[in-house]
Structure 1
Amino acid sequence: MQKKTRSLPIVHATLATLLISLAIPALAHEGRTSTSPKDGDTVQDSPAKIGIEFGDVMRITQFEVTGPNGSVPLDGQPSSEQVERYFVKPGEVLSAGNYQVHWRGLSDDGHMMSDGFNFSIEP
């Protein structure tokens, strides 16, 4: 019974080391650096473009905008190209209301990343 008690600190230390080593690469990724419109902003008119800038290259695999009338059609779709900036034009004039943008992508080293931002258009 005493052997089990002595091995617990070793098991805990090993698990802690493993968890830290797995977390460090995730912390090294640079996410978005800015958005257009800015996250949380309220704008007066339908934006001419909606997009995001990153601190490093990213291959966007999904970019969706939803608003008060559901999914927003966009002029442009993600491609296999790695970019530091990704912008699209709304396929229609956006009405007043709240909008959510959700994106997903692969970083340069192949890690999946996703995030989103919100903006509103004044009535």
Structure 2
Amino acid sequence: MMTKFKRLALAAAFGTAVATSALAHSSKETTSPADGSTVAQPPEAIVMTFDAPMRITLIQVTGKDGTNYPVTRTDNMAPSKTFQAVPAALPDGSYTVNWRGLAEDGHAMDGSFTFSVGN
């Protein structure tokens, strides 16, 4: 029979293991263009860096009016700490980049960031 102390110790160990594994997910470190920034010229590439390899499964660049702009990716869906995609010509305006991916540990991740082109 397990004592009350052993049950508490076991529960604490399990909680620590769960918390540690939750912290192991990749996270987005930086973007280019930077989130919320305004750039004078359309970016030559959309770049995201992560703290651990990420397999990007979707990237979408959408204008303020809802227009989706195609991007060309060269990663062949391979996991990487740095993801890069070349967007179609972007006119002046505001854009949202939405992305989804799989972290190295297999967990689904997603996020978005915004930037503007022009003055």
TM-score, reference length from structure 1: 0.75
Structure 1 gaps of 5+ residues are 1-13
Deviation (angstroms), 1:28? 2.5
Structure 2 gaps of 5+ residues are 1-10
Deviations 1:2-42 (A, max 9, x none): xxxxxxxxxxxx7xx98876554223323111101001100
**Counterpart residue type for residue 34 of structure 1:** T
Q: Which entry has the higher C-alpha Rg, 1 or 2?
A: 1
Matched, 1:85 2:82: yes
Alignment partners' CA distance in 2, 1:35 and 1:116: 10
Residue in 2 aligned with 1:51? 47
Between the aligned residues of both structures, percent identity stands at 36
Q: CA RMSD in A?
A: 2.3
TM-score, reference length from structure 2: 0.77
Residue in 1 aligned with 2:32? 36
Structure with the larger helix share: 1
Which stretches of structure 1, 4 residues or more, deviate above 3 A after TM superposition?
A: 17-24, 77-80
Aligned length: 109
Residue in 1 aligned with 2:91? 95
